[in-house]
Amino acid sequence: MAKKIPLACGECHRILDDDQETCNAHPEAHCTSDWAGYVVILNPERSEIAEKLEITRAGNYALKVNIR
Contacting residues for 42 by C-beta, under 8 A, at least 6 apart = 58
Classify 29 as helix, strand or coil. coil
Could you list the beta-strand ranges (E) of the chain: 8-9, 31-32, 35-41, 59-65
In this prediction, residue 68 has a pLDDT band, given cuts at 50, 70 and 90, of: confident
Domains and CATH numbers, the chain: 8-65 (2.20.28.90)
At 47 the pLDDT is 96
Question: Over the stretch 12-55, which tens digit does the pLDDT of each residue have?
Answer: 999 999 889 999 999 999 999 999 999 999 999 999 999 999 99
At 1 the pLDDT is 66
